[in-house]
């Protein structure tokens, strides 16, 4: 079953490998299909999976019984039941906004666990990265172009220093293990190593 349009969350490091959203469960515990809204008489339309759509007000949109966080990696958070006696005729987005926020917090905890499962970096390195960010931000206050040149040098340095590690990781580490260490799915890990190693991700 495909996904329709909906609001999603990502982190800068893990990107779409761990793309989160508020998922919907029906009363029987099943996940509803995307809701298709016909936009014109010509057959065009849009499939939507946004949780606020499932309020039971349209024949094609069943009523959500619970909300839970979901992630593109397959992880799902705990179900948070909706009390329709309390919701009544309120707009679902407003009435269950707090529940949706709880789902976002569940997903935040999931990405924290992903980060903790990834290969750790030395504190000296993370401190240096933080210092570099500060230096570039300070530089930008006096010269935007100098800050851009500094960022470009960081980009060049990253590409140069990662070339051989990418080749070594590809040779020595099973893709599944590399993906976990990087906090990515296997496809994203393969593309990352290919980009730094200078080979095609499709070979």
Residue 59's pLDDT band, with cuts at 50, 70 and 90, is confident
Answer whether residue 61 is part of any domain: yes
Residues 81 and 60 in one domain: yes
Averaged pLDDT score across all residues of the chain: 93
Q: What is the pLDDT of residue 57?
A: 87
Residues 98 and 148 in one domain: no
Q: Is the pLDDT of residue 142 over 70?
A: yes
Percentage, residues of the chain above pLDDT 90: 87
Answer whether residue 75 is part of any domain: yes
Residues 157 and 175 in one domain: yes
Say if CB 49 and CB 35 are below 8 A apart. Answer: yes
DSSP category for residue 16: G
Answer whether residue 52 is part of any domain: yes
Cα(99)–Cα(109) distance, rounded to whole angstroms?
15
Number of domains present in the structure of the chain: 2
Answer whether residue 6 is part of any domain: no
Q: Stretch 101-108: mean pLDDT, rounded?
A: 98
Residue 20: both structure tokens together: 């989160």
Q: Is the pLDDT of residue 1 over 50?
A: no
Say if CB 142 and CB 131 are below 8 A apart. Answer: no
Residues 113 and 128 in one domain: no
Query: Residue 31 belongs to what domain range?
Result: 15-117
Give the residue with greater pLDDT, 10 vs 59. Answer: 10
Say if CB 68 and CB 25 are below 8 A apart. Answer: yes
Angle among Cα 95, 98, 102 to the nearest 5 degrees reads 145
Q: Stretch 165-194: mean pLDDT, rounded?
A: 96
Percentage, residues of the chain above pLDDT 70: 96
Answer whether residue 5 is part of any domain: no
Question: Residue 160, Cα to own-chain centre: how many angstroms?
Answer: 28
How deeply is 133 buried, as exposed, middle or buried, from its count of CB atoms within 10 A (0-12, 13-18, 19+)? Answer: exposed
Given 117, 142, 177, which residue is the final one in a domain?
A: 117
């Amino acid at each position: 079953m495909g996904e329709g349009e909906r609001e999603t969350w990502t982190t800068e490091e893990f990107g779409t490998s761990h793309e989160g959203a508020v998922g919907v469960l029906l009363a029987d515990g099943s996940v509803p299909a995307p809701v298709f809204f016909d936009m014109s008489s010509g057959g065009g339309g849009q499939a939507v999976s946004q949780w606020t759509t499932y309020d039971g007000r349209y024949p094609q949109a069943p009523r959500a019984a619970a909300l839970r966080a979901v992630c593109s990696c397959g992880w799902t958070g705990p179900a948070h039941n909706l009390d329709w006696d309390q919701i009544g005729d309120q707009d679902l987005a407003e009435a269950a906004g707090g529940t949706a926020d709880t789902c976002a917090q569940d997903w935040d905890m999931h990405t924290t666990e992903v980060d903790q499962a990834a290969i750790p970096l030395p504190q000296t390195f993370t401190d240096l990265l933080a210092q570099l960010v500060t230096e570039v931000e300070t530089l930008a206050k006096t010269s935007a172009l100098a800050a851009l040149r500094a960022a470009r040098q960081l980009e060049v340095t990253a590409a140069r220093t990662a070339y051989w590690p990418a080749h070594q990781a590809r040779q020595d580490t099973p893709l599944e293990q590399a993906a976990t260490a990087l906090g990515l799915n296997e496809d994203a890990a393969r593309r990352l190593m290919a980009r730094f190693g200078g080979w095609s991700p499709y070979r």
